Amino acid sequence: MATVELRFSALPEHVRTARLVAAAVARRAGVDESVLDEVRLAVGEACSRAVGLHRRGGVTGAVRVALVDQEKRFLIEVEDEAGLDTVPATAADGGDPDEDTLGLAVLTGLVEDLEVTSGAGGGLIRMSWPVSADALAV
Amino acid sequence: MDLSLSTRTVGDRTVVEVGGEIDVYTAPKLREQLVELVNDGSYHLVVDMEGVDFLDSTGLGVLVGGLKRVRAHEGSLRLVCNQERILKIFRITGLTKVFPIHTSVEDAVQATD
């Protein structure tokens, strides 16, 4: 089991970096090329959501992304440090409506193995994809 | 990659050509552009997404916001997109039912329904 971990200040400009790193590590772990777009998008959505929760709650802190090669599965965890009360009903900061809802809709539609939890100290999104058999054989 | 935006007028339509990545960092620029166009009286918009490499839900939210703004003036917002990976995002969020999506700018500009 190999892990790459990334921590970044909860700022929008770092989400792209997280996407690029996640896609690179997923490719290396043997996630199928056809699924890499999905991985990139899912990580982007999870990180955008984390950044949004921090921003709306006025919470400073970091977003942690763990990319774990579990041999048969490639696991991604995105953890925020925003508390429960930052989870919005609607975006109230002048943003367009339904962004959080749309983000979760994209994640749900995209990722088969998805788990979204939130607690007082922050939230956690866990998702995983199969690693192709060819990659295992190498 | 950053976001590129350019606008041109075709008849009574305003075509917004978008290129690059629309995400949580760049989407505010697109939002500003759409808000500005509506404030200036352009209510029939065609957003050409053929040059878009990446789109996430923040971008979808901005497009939905744009649609609401033009509809408040009885306007329209049409999309041009042939890229399967972008269309997929509209499909899984059910937004293909909300936006008219065309295969070419010509088609979108001429559409009246």
**What does the pLDDT look like over A33-68, one tens digit per residue?**
989 999 999 999 999 999 999 998 888 899 999 999
CA distance B60 to B55: 8
Range of the domain at B80: 3-110
Q: What pLDDT was estimated at residue A48?
A: 96
Distances in Å between the alpha carbon of A64 and those of A4, A12, A55, B84? 11, 14, 16, 31
Q: Would an 8 Å CB–CB cutoff place A80 in contact with chain B?
A: no
Q: What pLDDT was estimated at residue A56?
A: 87
Nearest residue to B37 (alpha-carbon basis) of B70, B64, B78: B70
Which of chain B's residues have a Cβ under 8 Å away from the Cβ of A106?
A: 56-57, 60, 89, 92-93
Distances in Å between the alpha carbon of A122 and those of A79, A98, A116? 7, 21, 11
CA distance A23 to B30: 25
**What does the pLDDT look like over B34-45, one tens digit per residue?**
999 999 999 999
Q: Is the pLDDT of residue B15 over 50?
A: yes
Tally the domains of chain B: 1
Q: What pLDDT was estimated at residue A13?
A: 96
Q: Would an 8 Å CB–CB cutoff place A16 in contact with chain B?
A: yes
In the structure, what pLDDT confidence band is assigned to residue A88 with cuts at 50, 70 and 90? low
What number of residues does chain B have? 113
The arithmetic mean of pLDDT across residues B4-19, rounded, is: 97
Domain ranges (residues) in chain A: 2-137
The arithmetic mean of pLDDT across residues A70-90, rounded, is: 82
Task: Tell me which CATH code domain A2-137 carries.
Answer: 3.30.565.10
Say if residues B111 and B78 touch (Cβ distance below 8 Å).
Answer: yes
Query: A113-122, long-range: CB within 8 Å, 24+ apart, which pairs?
Result: A113/A73, A118/A84, A118/A87, A119/A84, A120/A83, A120/A84, A121/A81, A121/A83, A122/A61, A122/A79, A122/A80, A122/A81, A122/A82, A122/A83
Nearest residue to A7 (alpha-carbon basis) of A59, A97, A81: A81
Task: Using CA coordinates, name the residue in chain B closest to A50.
Answer: B24
Query: How many other β-carbons are positioned within 10 Å of the β-carbon of residue B9?
Result: 9
Helix (H) or strand (E) holding B106: helix B105-110
Work out the minimum CA distance from B14 to partner chain A, whole angstroms: 21
More confident residue, A84 or B4: B4
In the structure, what pLDDT confidence band is assigned to residue A91 with cuts at 50, 70 and 90? very low
Instruction: Give percent above pLDDT 70 in chain B.
Output: 98
Q: What torsion do the CA atoms of A13, A18, A23, A28 make, to the nearest 10 degrees?
A: 140
Work out the minimum CA distance from B52 to partner chain A, whole angstroms: 14
**A6 - beta bridge partners?**
A65
Q: Is the pLDDT of residue A131 over 60?
A: yes
Work out the minimum CA distance from A1 to partner chain B, whole angstroms: 30
Q: Is the pLDDT of residue B112 over 80?
A: yes
Domain containing B94 — which CATH number? 3.30.750.24
In the structure, what pLDDT confidence band is assigned to residue A6 with cuts at 50, 70 and 90? very high
Distances in Å between the alpha carbon of A95 and those of B26, B27, B34? 13, 10, 13
A37 and B89: CB-CB below 8 Å?
A: no
Say if residues B4 and B20 touch (Cβ distance below 8 Å).
Answer: yes
B57 and A15: CB-CB below 8 Å?
A: no
The arithmetic mean of pLDDT across residues B7-16, rounded, is: 96
In the structure, what pLDDT confidence band is assigned to residue A92 with cuts at 50, 70 and 90? very low
| A44, two tokens | 């982007």
